[in-house]
């Protein structure tokens, strides 16, 4: 199995993670028309599994600056994540990755980091559609202060749509240091919501850009969460 490692990933929230909410994400290119087979093997392996904290997402990448067709995200408390002891034998894990690799053309990059802020009443998989912005932040303290303020100001309009902010601590996609992830009901909801917020909070947005420090936009993309195992709570 070339380049296959048991990695621990994620997109996540401070929701119920009591210590250090963390993630590992691994990108891959699936063979054409093999998504259903991959999803089925994930179901066969992960359904009913209990985790120490967090869980696993299988996601399909869509529009934007993407690196592959799909990604796997493992998430949870950095000090207490992964499956509970005795859930799977080592031989079962090896067989799972061997079976998955039959449907994968190539493995891509992997990154790990932390979730530094989370806002919203639901987990990312509630709507299942997410847009991620990868950025290079010069002053994290300034940025997170401005980020929290604008998210709070937009919360009434956003309703329960989730917004996450986190850091890349191992690996740096194209030089990105942090990311912002926003959940929506779908593409149309994404565009309509942005229009509403820009119109209603024009003054607040100007203040946000003024106070967040120097930020370089590395890229952005959207995705669909296909499968969820474990709990975000």
Structural domain ending residue among the three candidates 114, 132, 151: 114
* Cβ atoms within 10 Å of 87's Cβ, excluding its own: 15
Is 43 domain-assigned?
A: yes
Q: Are residues 46 and 68 in the same domain?
A: yes
* Residue range 6-53, pLDDT digits in tens: 333 333 333 444 489 999 999 999 999 999 999 999 999 999 999 999
Residue 158: domain span: 116-222
Domain count, the chain: 2
* Residue range 97-111, pLDDT digits in tens: 999 999 999 999 999
* Residue range 142-166, pLDDT digits in tens: 999 999 999 999 999 999 999 999 9
| Residue 85 to residue 76: CA distance in whole angstroms | 16
| Residue 165 to residue 11: CA distance in whole angstroms | 10
C-beta of residue 11 within 8 angstroms of C-beta of residue 75: yes
CATH number at residue 74: 3.30.70.100
Is 6 domain-assigned?
A: no
Q: Are residues 122 and 179 in the same domain?
A: yes
Is 5 domain-assigned?
A: no
C-beta of residue 60 within 8 angstroms of C-beta of residue 35: yes
* Cβ atoms within 10 Å of 152's Cβ, excluding its own: 11
Q: Are residues 144 and 107 in the same domain?
A: no
Q: 90: buried, middle or exposed (CB in 10 Å: 19+, 13-18, 0-12)?
A: exposed
């Amino acid at each position: 199995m070339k380049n296959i490692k048991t990695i621990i990933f994620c997109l996540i929230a401070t929701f119920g993670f009591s210590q250090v909410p963390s993630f590992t994400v691994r990108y891959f290119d699936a063979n054409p028309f093999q998504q259903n087979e991959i999803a089925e093997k994930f179901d066969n392996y992960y359904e009913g599994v209990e985790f120490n904290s967090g869980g696993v997402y299988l996601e399909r990448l869509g529009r934007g600056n993407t690196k592959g067709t799909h990604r796997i995200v493992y998430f949870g408390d950095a000090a207490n994540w992964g499956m509970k002891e005795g859930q799977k034998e080592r031989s079962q894990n090896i067989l799972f990755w061997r079976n998955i690799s039959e449907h994968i053309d190539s493995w891509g990059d992997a990154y790990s980091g932390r979730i530094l802020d989370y806002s919203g009443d639901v987990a990312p998989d509630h709507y299942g559609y997410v847009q991620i912005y990868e950025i290079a932040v010069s002053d994290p303290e300034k940025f997170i202060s401005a980020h929290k303020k604008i998210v709070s100001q937009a919360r009434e309009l956003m309703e329960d749509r989730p917004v996450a902010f986190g850091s890349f601590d191992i690996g740096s996609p194209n030089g990105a240091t942090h990311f912002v992830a926003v959940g929506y009901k779908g593409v149309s909801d994404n565009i309509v919501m942005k229009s509403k917020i820009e119109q209603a909070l024009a003054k607040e947005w100007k203040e946000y850009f003024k106070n967040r420090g120097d930020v370089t936009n590395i890229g952005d993309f959207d995705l669909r969460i296909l499968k969820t195992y474990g709990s975000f709570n």
